[in-house]
Amino acid sequence: MGQPITSGVQGKPQERTVPAGAAAAGMPNPGRLFQIFNAYQQTAAMKAAIELDVFTAIADRHTTAQEIAQHVGAAERGIRILCDYLTVMGFLTKNDSHYGLAPDAALFLDRRSPAYMGSAARFLDAPDMVKAFENLADAVRKGGTTWGEEGSLSFENPIWVEFARSMAPMMMMPAECISRLVEADKGGKCRVLDIAAGHGLFGIDIARHNPQAEIVALDWADVLEVAMENARKSGVDFRYSTLPGSAFEVEFGGGYDLVLLTNFLHHFDVPTCERLLRKVHAALAPGGRAVTLEFVPNDDRVTPPEAATFSMIMLGSTPHGDAYTFAELERMFSNAGFARSEHFRQPPMPESVIISYR
């Protein structure tokens, strides 16, 4: 709620602030509930701005609603309302009638930025995904997704091709973190198995940092085409091979120094994770490590916010997935035979890295 402003016209105060009876200062606020009922419009506004490429237009110095509207081929009223809304959300600035990019928008939403993440909307807000939340009460009753039997996990679900195509930018920073944490720059023999490789960025980044690294990428066949294309673009394809299929069924082979489990375990229940981790453990060479990227809430499961709310995505889109605490992950790895696990929070990234030693 903004502060009251008193403006005078003809010497008379034209605006007064009147506390709303019993619900005055410090009391509950219906505005917050109103905001939640309309929160879906935040997603809609961001998707529209990305589709219309409003952020890139502003980066190109089209700064008034009229200029932006002309540049992107939209109505001035539509752009003015959209840009005001994005300003309230903190992605734009507004001075007089001129809009500018807030730091988040300049880095992540200007299409020419190397860290551009606008494409992530195509996966995160994919129609099937959003549809899974339309009657969330049913998912709460059932305790799992109402998106078919298996939700996003169904056999060769095309959403993972969309994931591989559109989520790479959002994963650049985590991929760099992992390369640093495993000290890829030190070089040396390094056989890497990248499970559910998707876009392939995690393995590719290690290969870029360590010229001796050899990557085996596992995913559905259609998805691996995207990973291989990215490997070619990064010039590491001659050290990149693929294993098409399900991580639960395909034979991994052995002697890996690193096995990457990025954004994978959260889709499954604990017994399924442990079954997979035993297979991972068996595939590691002596001294080998499993590297997990996950949303890891604290033991209270309600902090930090980004990690804690992730379990909702799993409720909506999977039968049994979850955001696991470090204690839960540590126990899974331990039960699967791993000696110990370490947890690295990566602010400002919402995800953590867990390194588990064979």
Looking at residues 243 to 272 of the shown chain, list those that interact with its own copies (rule: CB under 8 A).
none
Give the one residue of 60, 64, 70, 94 binding its own copies; rule: CB under 8 A: 94
Give the one residue of 60, 64, 106, 328 binding its own copies; rule: CB under 8 A: 106
Amino acid, res. 238? F
Cβ proximity of 218 and 150 under 8 Å: no
Cβ proximity of 126 and 159 under 8 Å: yes
- Contact range with its own copies by CB under 8 A, out of 19-27, 216-224, 248-256, 258-266: 19-27
Residues with Cβ < 8 Å from 291, sequence gap 6 or more? 178, 181, 182, 258, 259, 260, 261, 262, 353, 354, 355, 356
* Contact flag: residue 37 with its own copies (CB under 8 A): yes
Nearer to its own copies, 103 or 235 (CB): 103
Name the minimum Å distance from CB 162 to its own copies: 13
- Contact range with its own copies by CB under 8 A, out of 73-81, 210-218, 221-229, 275-283: 73-81
For the chain, the residue count is 358
How far is it, in rounded angstroms, from Cα 316 to Cα 240? 34
Give the one residue of 61, 66, 98, 140 binding its own copies; rule: CB under 8 A: 140
- For 284, the token pair is 């590691």
- Contact range with its own copies by CB under 8 A, out of 20-28, 148-156, 183-191, 257-265: 20-28
Q: What is the dihedral of CA 154, 195, 290, 300, to 10 degrees?
A: -30
Nearer to its own copies, 173 or 250 (CB): 173
- For 235, the token pair is 């010039």
Cis status, amide bond into 304, omega within 30 of 0 = yes
* Contact flag: residue 161 with its own copies (CB under 8 A): no
Cβ proximity of 214 and 192 under 8 Å: yes
* Contact flag: residue 8 with its own copies (CB under 8 A): no
Nearer to its own copies, 232 or 301 (CB): 301
Nearer to its own copies, 277 or 354 (CB): 354
- Over the window 319 to 358, marking each residue x when it contacts its own copies by CB under 8 A and - when it does not, the resulting string is -x-x---x---x---------xxxxxxxxxxx--x-----
- Contact range with its own copies by CB under 8 A, out of 105-113, 197-205, 212-220, 272-280: 105-113
How far is it, in rounded angstroms, from Cα 218 to Cα 242? 6
How far is it, in rounded angstroms, from Cα 156 to Cα 58? 39
Nearer to its own copies, 95 or 249 (CB): 95
Q: How many residues bind its own copies (CB under 8 A)?
A: 122
* Contact flag: residue 82 with its own copies (CB under 8 A): yes
Nearer to its own copies, 240 or 295 (CB): 295
Cβ proximity of 248 and 304 under 8 Å: no
Q: Could you give the angle at which helices 172-181 and 201-209 cross, rounded to 10 degrees? A: 50
Residues with Cβ < 8 Å from 334, sequence gap 6 or more? 340, 341
Name the minimum Å distance from CB 146 to its own copies: 11
Name the minimum Å distance from CB 263 to its own copies: 12
- Contact range with its own copies by CB under 8 A, out of 147-155, 175-183, 235-243, 252-260: 175-183
